[in-house]
Structure formats: C-alpha cells, structure tokens
Amino acid sequence: MTIRRADAGATPAAAGGWQPSQIERERRAYRRSRSLRSAVIASLSTLLVVTVAGVLITHSAGWPRVSQTFFDWHKAQESFPSVLRGLWLNIRILLFCSVAITVLGLTLAVMRTLRGPVFFPLRLFAAAYTDLFRGLPLLLVIFLLGFGVPALRLQGLPQDMVIWGGLAIVLSYSAYVAEVFRAGIESVHPSQRAAARSLGLNHAQTMRFVVLPQAVRRVLPPLLNDFVSLQKDSGLIAVLGVVDAIRAAQISTDIDFNFTPYVVAGFLFVCLTIPTTRITDHLARKHGWYGAGPGGGRI
C-alpha cells in the first residue's frame, strides 16, 4: 500500500518519501509481465481443454441420446418438486444426525485419550466401538437396525423407519468422527498439556480450555469432509422404504427411463454442499483457525 502511494505521489521531494530504485521498478515490471503471461497461458489452455472435451463429447455418435436421457429440460422441471421434497428428508437427517454424531464422536475421542489404568475399560470400549463401526458397511448397520430390531417385536420401540435409519447413520459416522477428533487431540503438543497442568489446571480443564480448542480447529477441514459426505449418505436410509432425493429421482426415472431426475438431484446436492464449504472457510479464516499455512483454504 505504501509503495503505491509513493508511486502515485507527484514528486518524491513533495511526498518527502522513499521511492523504489530503478532496479526494483524493473523487477516489479518484470514480475507483472510474468504473472500476466501465466494468466494468459492458463486461460488459453483451459479454453482449449474445455473446447476439445466439449467437441469430443457433443460430436460422439451417442450424444443425442445421452443428452436426451440425462439433460432433458422438461423432465428436469417435471421431477424437480418431488426431488426437492426428497431432499428435505436428507436435510432433516443431516441436521439431526450431525449434532448427534459430533457429540458422540467427541465423547468417544475423549474416552479414548483418557490416561490412567482405571480408565482401561472406557478406552477399550472406545477402541472396540470405532473398530467395529468403521469396519461395518453402513448399509448393513441400516439393515440390522431398520429390519432386524423391529423384527424382535419388542413393545414400545419406534416404528418410524427414519428414526432407525438415522440411528444407524449416527452409530457409523460417529466412529469416523471420533477418529478425526482423536487425531486432532493427539496432534496437540504434549508441552501444551504439561504447561496447562503446571498452571494448576486439572485434566478436565486442560482438555476443555487448552487441548480441545486447538484440536477442533485443526481437524475442522476433515470434519467438514465428513459433513459433506453425510449429506449424500443420508440417502442410504431410503433402503428402509422412505423417499429421499435420490429415491424420488429413481421413482421419476422409472416412469419413462429418463435419467434426468438424477442430474437434478445431483445439482441440488452440489447447491447444498458449496455454501456449506464456503461458509465454513469464511468462518475459519475470520477466526484464524487455519493457522499460517499458504492459501488458508482458498481455491
């Protein structure tokens, strides 16, 4: 900023300021020309690749049929309301499950990082839990809970399949999220812990005020990954008979064998994902969560 002001100043003497040397100005001009050159080359190569790909695809023999099957505007309009209604189920599952997953995942991670022999059963439980539910395919967990548990015919259990499906998602995802949290907790340098304890904080306080804030900050990008992944996996509970966005698209597709509704669903999912990512990036930068790494999460 100061440099520009100096450049803009009428005369060096009047501004009474420093002016870059001839050599420095040449360097700057050179750098500007190089970056301009890079930008032009990048634009041209992007344009070329997109054009070639576009021409290859649209001139292929099957393109008319593909475009008709996947990108039919009328079919898109026709299926949009039902797909959107299905998406509402995904969003509700996403909201409820993500809260439950965060709580359960964090609890498991803290359990697993407890020290002292007396906590061995807790550590064992947390380790066994994460091993089991990361290993089990989510679909199996959904089947077991959605079709298996109601088959027990116990009184008082919920009949709503959405609840069982949501529970299965929480069980499975919290195992992944627990490991992400644990990685964060273990990445905090031991000196931080030692310093906190030497200041008189007990274990709980050390975790709450020193370790977890740093840990969570560091694992925010992978947590967001899991969140985005959950948006789409939430649709897996459709196997239990409920209609999510993808199932709504499937129903619409099977009417006339036109796959456009899936593209509509995909578009809506992307619309859901992009703002989430951008908002989190924005918050993270604002609060300096990403540290001093280059780019700071920018594209």
Partner 1 sequence: MRSRVLPALAVVAGAAALAACGSSSSSSSNSTGSTTAASCAVDQLALVHKGQLTVGTDQPAYPPWFVDNAPSNGKGYESAVAYAIAKQMGFTPAQLKWVKVTFNVAISPAVKNFDFDVNQVSISDKRRKAVDFSSGYYDVRQAVISYKGSKLDGVHTLAGVAAAHLGAQVGTTSYQAIVDQIKPKSAPAVFDSNDLAVQALKNHAIDGIVVDVPTAFYMVAAQVDHGIIVGQLPKAGGQQEQFGAVLDKGSKLTPCVTKAVDALRANGTLDRLQTRWLSSQGAPELK
Start-to-end CA span in the chain (Å): 24
Question: Site for partner 1 (CB under 8 A): which residue of 41, 44, 47, 66?
Answer: 66
CB of 183 to partner 1, least distance (A): 36
Number of other CB atoms surrounding residue 164 within 10 Å: 24
CB of 231 to partner 1, least distance (A): 21
CA-based nearest residue to 261, from 143, 119, 87, 115:
87
Residue number with CB closer to partner 1 (20 or 241): 241
Tell me which stretch binds partner 1 (CB under 8 A): 22-30, 182-190, 252-260, 265-273: 252-260
Contacts (Cβ under 8 Å, ≥6 apart) of 60 = 66
CA distances from 110 to 4, 137, 178, 289 (A): 52, 25, 8, 21
The reply on whether position 167 binds partner 1 by CB under 8 A is no
Contacts (Cβ under 8 Å, ≥6 apart) of 239 = 139, 142, 143, 146
Residue number with CB closer to partner 1 (55 or 66): 66
Q: What angle do CA 56, 58, 62 make, to 5 degrees?
A: 100
Classify burial at 279, counting beta carbons within 10 Å of its beta carbon; exposed 0-12, middle 13-18, buried 19 or more.
exposed
CB of 58 to partner 1, least distance (A): 15
Tell me which stretch binds partner 1 (CB under 8 A): 11-19, 174-182, 242-250, 269-277: 242-250
The reply on whether position 89 binds partner 1 by CB under 8 A is no
The reply on whether position 93 binds partner 1 by CB under 8 A is no
168: tokens are: 């299965």
The reply on whether position 107 binds partner 1 by CB under 8 A is no
CB of 258 to partner 1, least distance (A): 6
Whole-number Å distance between alpha carbons of 259 and 256: 9
**Residue indicated by tokens 């200041």:** 199
Cα 266 versus chain centre, distance: 16
CA-based nearest residue to 280, from 84, 93, 98:
98
CB of 124 to partner 1, least distance (A): 34
Residue number with CB closer to partner 1 (42 or 255): 255
43: tokens are: 């634009």
Question: Site for partner 1 (CB under 8 A): which residue of 238, 264, 265, 268?
Answer: 238
Residue number with CB closer to partner 1 (39 or 66): 66
Tell me which stretch binds partner 1 (CB under 8 A): 105-113, 192-200, 212-220, 236-244: 236-244
What character string, x for contact with partner 1 (CB under 8 A) and - otherwise, covers 214-233? --------------------
Q: What angle do CA 91, 96, 99 make, to 5 degrees?
A: 120
Residue number with CB closer to partner 1 (186 or 254): 254
Count of helices and strands (H, E) across the chain? 15, 0
The reply on whether position 257 binds partner 1 by CB under 8 A is yes
The reply on whether position 290 binds partner 1 by CB under 8 A is no
CB of 146 to partner 1, least distance (A): 8
The reply on whether position 21 binds partner 1 by CB under 8 A is no
Cα 289 versus chain centre, distance: 16
Interface positions with partner 1 (CB under 8 A): 62, 65-66, 69, 147, 150-151, 153, 159, 161, 238-243, 247, 250-251, 253-259
